[in-house]
Amino acid sequence: MSDVRFDNRVAIVTGSGNGLGKTYALELAKRGAKVVVNDLGGSAFGGGSDKAAADVVVDEIKAAGGEAAANYDSVIDGDKIIQTAMDNFGRVDIVINNAGILRDKTFHKMTDEDWDLIYDVHVRGAYKVTHAAWPYMRENGYGRLIFTASAAGIYGNFGQTNYAMAKLGLHGMSQTLALEGRSKNIMVNTIAPIAGSRLTETVMPKKIVDALRPEFVMPLVLKLCDENSDETGGLFEVGAGFIAKVRWERTKGKCFSIKNNFTPEDINAAWDEITDFSESTHPANIADSNRDIMRNLKA
Ligand SMILES: NC(=O)c1ccc[n+]([C@@H]2O[C@H](COP(=O)([O-])OP(=O)(O)OC[C@H]3O[C@@H](n4cnc5c(N)ncnc54)[C@H](O)[C@@H]3O)[C@@H](O)[C@H]2O)c1
């Protein structure tokens, strides 16, 4: 197995002033990448800004002999972040959409501001950064993109309707970009990480936060950004040294004859069969998903 190297590659890591993003930026630079360290430097809840967050990481990379440039824009202005990469390094090869905040509240207490801010930073921000990078990647016939979801999005989590909406939305975006990017050698994957950071220190005991080092997430992210990796469209849960791929599972299901009307009572009678996972399948694309529907239409 050859070493995973990023020489002559230009990587943009959003929100890399702290936590997970910082570990990606430092290791990418150590392995030869020129890195744009983007960070707004605000609070974990989305207020304020501070250039120091990005500057500290850029200084650390440069002190170790690496190449890096700081960008202080919000991901909502994603085009400016990509412009920093073009101005400083003239290319875009890798984008890690990592910036994030929390506005946890139970749904009945959720305000429009809580909802919109989470959407803006996580979904619109990742869209704006990726949309600005995409033409360069297509032109170069090369790209590696990471989106950052969360177990909260995959499984739901009490008090996180806004965050869960955004995080699973990113996987939808990522899966579709994987389809659109494949022919141009643009590989797109999503991670659902768990790591100790200022986002998790509000909800986990300090001992666990300290033990869940972001460095345990970083190797998977770099593997997925490797030029030798052809993994695309994947969703991975990762943390504390555990790495697993997630896929959809569907029950065998039941086909009702559409020659006659079928009723809610018919569905009640067949409910055990509809929800029985003993003969489940794993649709991996729209064609798989539609096959039984089309077959029933023709029956
Ligand atoms: N830590 C976990 O266990 C965990 C779990 C699931 C998902 N995540 C996701 O991982 C990502 C990184 O989180 P972390 O735990 O390292 O948190 P963190 O707070 O340590 O780092 C996030 C960084 O993003 C920056 N940021 C926030 N809004 C920004 C904006 N609009 N533009 C640019 N930068 C911005 C912050 O300043 C911060 O430096 C986030 O997307 C988070 O939702 C983390």
For ligand 1, atom 7, name the residue with the nearest CA: 150
Structural domains of the chain, ranges and CATH numbers in brackets: 10-246 (3.40.50.720), 247-299 (1.10.287.4290)
For ligand 1, atom 41, name the residue with the nearest CA: 100
Report the pocket of ligand 1 as residue ranges, CB < 6 Å. Answer: 14-15, 17-21, 38-42, 44, 53, 74-75, 98-101, 121, 125, 148, 150, 193-195, 197-200
pLDDT tens string for the chain (299 positions)? 789 999 999 999 999 999 999 999 999 999 999 999 999 999 999 999 999 999 999 999 999 999 999 999 999 999 999 999 999 999 999 999 999 999 999 999 999 999 999 999 999 999 999 999 999 999 999 999 999 999 999 999 999 999 999 999 999 999 999 999 999 999 999 999 999 999 999 889 999 999 999 999 999 999 999 999 999 999 999 999 999 999 999 999 999 999 989 999 999 999 999 999 999 999 999 999 999 999 999 98
Is 163 labeled as catalytic in the residue annotation?
yes
Residues contacting 213, CB < 8 A, separation 6+: 195, 196
| Distance between Cα 113 and ligand 1 center (Å) | 18
Tokens of 24: 């990606």
Quote the pLDDT of residue 281.
Answer: 97
Q: How far is CA 268 from CA 264, 271, 274, in A?
A: 6, 5, 9
Give the whole-angstrom CA distance, residue 166 versus residue 120.
9
Using a cut of 0.85, tell me whether the model's pTM lies above it: yes
For ligand 1, atom 42, name the residue with the nearest CA: 100
Quote the pLDDT of residue 1.
Answer: 75
| Distance between Cα 97 and ligand 1 center (Å) | 10
Answer whether 44's CB lies under 8 Å from 102's CB: yes
- Bridge partners (DSSP) of residue 101 are none
| Distance between Cα 181 and ligand 1 center (Å) | 26
| Distance between Cα 14 and ligand 1 center (Å) | 9
Report DSSP letters for the chain, one per residue. Answer: ------TT-EEEETTTTSHHHHHHHHHHHHTT-EEEEE-----TTS----THHHHHHHHHHHHTT-EEEEE---GGGHHHHHHHHHHHHS---EEEE-------B-GGG--HHHHHHHIIIIIIHHHHHHHHHHHHHHHHT-EEEEEE--HHHHH--TTBHHHHHHHHHHHHHHHHHHHHHGGGTEEEEEEEE---STTTTTTS-HHHHHHS-GGGTHHHHHHHHSTT----S-EEEEETTEEEEE---B----PPPSSS---HHHHHHTHHHHT-GGG-B---SHHHHHHHHHHHHH-
Quote the pLDDT of residue 203.
Answer: 84
Tokens of 19: 């936590």
Give the whole-angstrom CA distance, residue 19 versus residue 22.
6
- Let me know if 223 is exposed, middle or buried by CB neighbors in 10 A (0-12, 13-18, 19+): middle
